[in-house]
Amino acid sequence: MSISRHHSFWGSLSPLGGLMGISLLVMASARLSWAITIAGCLFWVYGLTAFSFAFLLSVGKKIIPEKGRSAIYSCLAAFFGSVYLFLFWLLCPFAALETFMLMLLVPLFCAQTGFADDGTADQTSANKNSKVNIDVFDSVSDSVSGAASLAVLIIAFSILREPLSYCLLSFPGTAQGMVTIMYFKSNSFFPIGVFASSAGALLLLGYCICLYQYGKGKLLGRI
């Protein structure tokens, strides 16, 4: 299975191109500590789910029906998402409570990536008479690359957004759920509290996307 037809960062179905996962991007980027937590959850859920699903297909293709693979993939994503939430709750309960709803969304985004459907389609087109073994390494690398692109976007946007909203940068940990790692001097213009809300985040995100599209168009025009 390959996702070269929609590159995980530049393609039309990427977080930048098609705005997949924009709700998670807006909500998780409010704090850098939240962004780091959700980035770890993305890597954990996407990587382990893809590895487990590819492994099950390679050893039990006759057991897993083709029409039910999407449901099995969704169950695996929900399971690994629950494991990550439980482990993170053991390490830092307050931080887990702050990002509880956000971590519940990660398996949903993982399940809608179409990994199971694409894998079945690729098998059918490659050999109509026999099933082709899925390369576990390619499957996991494709899934992790998609998680990495969204995780990098969330962290980068949070580094820009949190100082504009709260004049600080935070990191997950301590009994309060987060620790402040950097302060910024506040004045009449800074911070701009509107960016703390989802509406302000969408305004800032729209401005960043416009700059990205403009720069991308200029770069492609020169090539």
Nearest to 46 by CA among 153, 139, 164: 139
User: pLDDT, tens digit, for every residue of 116-131?
Assistant: 665 443 444 344 333 4
- Whether residue 12 is predicted with pLDDT greater than 90 in this model: the reply is no
- Whether residue 214 is predicted with pLDDT greater than 60 in this model: the reply is yes
User: pLDDT, tens digit, for every residue of 48-63?
Assistant: 998 888 888 877 666 6
Please report which helix (H) or strand (E) contains residue 157, including its range: helix 136-166
- Whether residue 168 is predicted with pLDDT greater than 50 in this model: the reply is yes
List, in order, residues 6 or more apart from 150 with CB less than 8 Å away.
15, 20, 21, 24, 25, 42, 109
- Whether residue 15 is predicted with pLDDT greater than 70 in this model: the reply is no
- Whether residue 174 is predicted with pLDDT greater than 60 in this model: the reply is yes
The whole-number pLDDT of residue 155 equals 94
- Dump the DSSP string for 79-122: HHHHHHHHHHHHH-HHHHHHTHHHHHHHHHHHHTT-HHHHHHHH
Per DSSP, helices labelled H in 3-68 are 22-28, 32-59
- Whether residue 46 is predicted with pLDDT greater than 80 in this model: the reply is yes
The whole-number pLDDT of residue 122 equals 42
